[in-house]
Amino acid sequence: MIKSNGQARKRPAARVTVRPGRPKRPPAADTEQRILEAAHGVFMQRGTAGARMQEIAAAAGVNSALLHYYFRSKARLSEAVFRRAASQLLPAVIRILASDIDLTAKVHAVIDLELTHLSQAPYLPGYLISELTHDPDRARHLVTELTGLVPEEVGRRVLGSLRAQIDAAVRARRMSPLEPEQFVVNLLSLCIFPFAARPMLMALLGADQPGFERFIEHRRADLPSFILRAMRP
Amino acid sequence: MIKSNGQARKRPAARVTVRPGRPKRPPAADTEQRILEAAHGVFMQRGTAGARMQEIAAAAGVNSALLHYYFRSKARLSEAVFRRAASQLLPAVIRILASDIDLTAKVHAVIDLELTHLSQAPYLPGYLISELTHDPDRARHLVTELTGLVPEEVGRRVLGSLRAQIDAAVRARRMSPLEPEQFVVNLLSLCIFPFAARPMLMALLGADQPGFERFIEHRRADLPSFILRAMRP
DNA sequence: GTCTATATTGTGATAGAC
DNA sequence: GTCTATCACAATATAGAC
């Protein structure tokens, strides 16, 4: 059986032809963007496998044929959404961790960035974890794309920078020994997990939506001192 | 349009008729169990929406019609798998947290239980987070079923017990103040997140499968003292 | 660029023989 | 209980008019 898949029509190049003689419906120069945003919402909630092109089209206010016109297939559309979503936070966090500000400042900066951003996009962690759980190989490609480095290299740089800081602090007796891998994972766990497990936590703690938001604000205040205490000698 | 859905044939009652006169293929008295285990594996990796009945049937070594014979529909099968998966850890953790052993012992017990169990079932957190993200309402029902209590009540009991212990420790100047909600979430975050985000972490840290396992064993040693330091005054 | 059909699978579910 | 068809429909994808 032939898989009709010669690299066919690619994403249209010039769609800036405005020529003011057609008063049908403003040809919506931003259609692609609208579709992408609608797709973002739907994929985020339902996951790639659970999402329906029809629902995305409806959310974008267009016909589902247009989705294929712009993105060729569901797989490509979901890929576009996934990259956009993944690039929202990861690069910024890596940049902080690899920078040369001091350890305490890194802790504060990461907590602040994560909690602020995730409060506005609470579905993000659940979506990313879901996608990566069901297709783990994507992770390597992803890290490579976002940083322009192979994963091993990313790890070495970030962890190397942190190890130097930790070792110095330990020698100065300002900190107890801790592998940089464990430090990073502790920090990310404490920031991200509450959002990833939000539905479960809300049920477990008996919280509603505003209750959860209060919980996060409380967390923003508590987390830095919690982590810094844990790092003391 | 009529939805042909009168509560039809329910799960067969007596399938213990062994009568030794049929040497075809041992009538496999455990077929239902085999199906459930195959389904567990497939749902775990692909998620409910991404799983295919055909793949489950193949994994169980039977025809896909048998899946419907035993479980009636994909929805029911996935529900059975979901409950089984969810009941693996949550009740035991709640029991520890609500028990009357002292706080330090609770920290040790939860860490040990989680890391030991999740090392054997590393997909579990990703699966549960994925399912609950895509269908958040399930969470409330789930907590109710597992504990026999409404969520609000569960929260009150567990958190009440913890708050008393924390308050006592704070008054004795053996601990810094901390809301019981934050305590529980910190504990669970540090244990569960590494497994939930495993693909991403492996890429980020440049680790392979055995590398990840070593990382977790290292964590088992480090986590208790990390958390206990964070709790000190 | 955008729409209305329509083609083409994929996939859950049922009927009925053994 | 288990299998071999087969149904019915949902969902992606394409053709072609405007």
Cα–Cα distance measured from residue B27 to residue B31, given in angstroms and rounded to the nearest whole number: 8
Q: What does the pLDDT read at residue A154?
A: 87
Token readout for B90 is: 């949550």
List chain B residues with pLDDT less than 70: 1-28
Among protein residues, the one whose C-alpha sits closest to the C1' atom of C15 is B65
Give B-chain residues touching A188 at CB under 8 angstroms. Answer: 193, 197
- Whether residue A47 and residue B204 make contact (CB cut-off 8 A), yes or no, is no
Q: Percent of chain A at pLDDT above 70? A: 88
For residue B193, give the nearest of A151, A189, A232 by CB distance.
A189
Q: What does the pLDDT read at residue A227?
A: 98
Beta-carbon-side half-sphere exposure of residue A188 (alpha carbons within 13 Å): 25
Whether CB of B14 is under 7 Å from strand C: the answer is no
List protein-proximal bases of chain C (any atom < 7 A from a CB): 1-5, 11-16
Q: How confident is the model at residue A155 (pLDDT cuts 50, 70, 90)?
A: confident
Q: Confirm whether pTM is higher than 0.85.
A: yes
Q: What does the pLDDT read at residue B26?
A: 57
B28 shares contact with chain A (CB less than 8 Å): no
Q: What does the pLDDT read at residue B25?
A: 53
Give B-chain residues touching A230 at CB under 8 angstroms. Answer: 226-227, 229-230
Q: What does the pLDDT read at residue A149?
A: 86
A208 CA – C11 C1', rounded, Å? 37
Whether CB of B68 is under 7 Å from strand C: the answer is yes
- Whether residue A179 and residue B218 make contact (CB cut-off 8 A), yes or no, is yes
Give B-chain residues touching A139 at CB under 8 angstroms. Answer: 199-200, 202-203
Whether CB of A53 is under 7 Å from strand C: the answer is no
- Whether residue B136 and residue A199 make contact (CB cut-off 8 A), yes or no, is yes
Helix, strand, coil percent content, chain B, rounded in steps of 5: 70, 0, 30
Single-letter amino acid code for the residue at A46: R
Asked if the model's pLDDT at residue A21 lies above 90, the reply is: no
Cα–Cα distance measured from residue B42 to residue A171, given in angstroms and rounded to the nearest whole number: 49
**DSSP labels, chain B:** -----S---PSPS------S---SS---TTHHHHHHHHHHHHHHHHHHHH--HHHHHHHHTS-HHHHHHHHSSHHHHHHHHHHHHHTTTHHHHHHHHHSSS-HHHHHHHHHHHHHHHHHH-TTHHHHHHHHHHH-TTHHHHHHHHHHSS-HHHHHHHHHHHHHHHHHHHHHTTSS----HHHHHHHHHHHHHHHHHTHHHHHHHHT--HHHHHHHHHHHHHHHHHHHHHHH--
Q: What does the pLDDT read at residue A7?
A: 36
Beta-carbon-side half-sphere exposure of residue A118 (alpha carbons within 13 Å): 32
Average pLDDT, chain A: 90
Vertex B122 angle, CA B120 and B124, to 5°:
110
Cα–Cα distance measured from residue A42 to residue B178, given in angstroms and rounded to the nearest whole number: 37
Cα–Cα distance measured from residue B205 to residue B189, given in angstroms and rounded to the nearest whole number: 19
